[in-house]
Amino acid sequence: MASENPNEPPGPYPTGQHIIPPPRPASPATAEYRLNHLMLRIKDPKKSLRFYNDCFGLHVVFIFNVGPWTIYYLGPRDVTISSLGTSKGLLELYHIPSDSSLSYTSGNDYTSNPSGIGFGHIGFTVPDVAEAIKHVESFGYEVIKPLGEAKEDQMAVPQEVVEGRAGAVDEGYKHVFRQLAFVRDPDGYWVELVPQVVKPPEIA
């Protein structure tokens, strides 16, 4: 059944175009709801805190030892434990020692772990992607996708897309993708570096 909500227009959608529906109608039941945080399982708190705090400017809001695992709650520097409920951009890290022999998956690797597909990446907007890459590299972390490239095998998509059997990736998307970068965190999760302003294609 097609949605009658104009904020959820039915497809199919034309390739290479942003579909911008009108805002969703007001809902008193969810008026104060906001996306608050993401949770990642981590193997080494010291490495993960170095990555997210030193490379990306978050800070530890609180640490809570649950017994079987420890929670590290991260957020922007102006966030305190008393403002968590109304804050945005929070990251919750779970260190579970009993998982030591269990491999975590980033959710992007179709080739070696097809059962792990799911979670994709965390995204940070930054003033200058090239400078952010240099900053991350200075800490010794891996750049998965540098600036200026837009290869299908860098997009975390199935092999049929990489090989072109599912159709061509839109050139408009590739233009945007060239302005992004991806790095890998200590547990293999992908982190996207997004410019604060994405440049439109040049008009010939």
Distance CA(156)–CA(190), nearest Å, equals 10
Q: Which tokens belong to 141?
A: 């972390």
Distance CA(193)–CA(176), nearest Å, equals 12
Q: Which domains are delineated in the chain?
A: 35-97 (3.10.180.10), 118-195 (no CATH)
| pLDDT confidence bin for 204, thresholds 50/70/90 | very low
Q: Model's pTM, two decimal places?
A: 0.78
- The answer to whether the CB of 79 falls within 8 A of the CB of 87 is yes
The residue with greater pLDDT, 164 or 147, is: 147
- The answer to whether the CB of 64 falls within 8 A of the CB of 70 is yes
Burial of 157 (0-12, 13-18, 19+ CB in 10 A): middle
Q: What is the pLDDT of residues 145-155, one digit of tens each?
A: 999 999 988 88
Q: What is the pLDDT of residues 100-117, one digit of tens each?
A: 888 777 777 777 665 656
| pLDDT confidence bin for 119, thresholds 50/70/90 | confident
Which helix (H) or strand (E) segment holds residue 42: the answer is: strand 37-42
| Residues labelled catalytic | 192
Distance CA(111)–CA(115), nearest Å, equals 10
